[in-house]
Structure 1
Amino acid sequence: MIQKTYLKTKDQCKVKFTVSIENADKVEVVGLNDDWDNPIEMNKKKGDTFEIVQSLPKNTHHEFKYLVNGSEWRNDPEADGEAPNEFGGTNSILAV
Structure 2
Amino acid sequence: MITKTYLKTKDQCKVKFNMNADSADKAEIVGLNGDWNNRVEMKKRKDGSFVAEVSLPKNSYHEFKYLINGSEWRNDPDADGEAPNEYGETNSILTI
Q: TM-score with structure 2 length normalisation?
A: 0.98
Report the count of equivalent residues: 96
1:1-80 residue pairs with structure 2 within 5 A? 1-80=1-80
SS in 2 for 1:33: helix
Segment drifting more, 39-48 vs 23-32:
39-48
**Aligned mates of 2:77, 2:23 — CA distance in 1:** 19
**Aligned mates of 2:22, 2:85 — CA distance in 1:** 26
SS in 2 for 1:87: coil
CA RMSD of aligned residues (A): 0.5
- Structure 1's consecutive aligned runs of 4 or more residues displaced over 4 angstroms after TM superposition are none
Amino acid at match of 2:16: K
SS in 1 for 2:33: helix
User: How far did 1:20 drift?
Assistant: 0.5
**Aligned mates of 2:46, 2:22 — CA distance in 1:** 12
Segment drifting more, 67-76 vs 46-55:
46-55
Segment drifting more, 22-31 vs 39-48:
39-48
SS in 2 for 1:62: strand
Identity of aligned residues (%): 69
Consecutive unaligned residues in structure 2, runs of 5 or more: none
User: How far did 1:47 drift?
Assistant: 2.2
**Aligned mates of 1:74, 1:48 — CA distance in 2:** 16
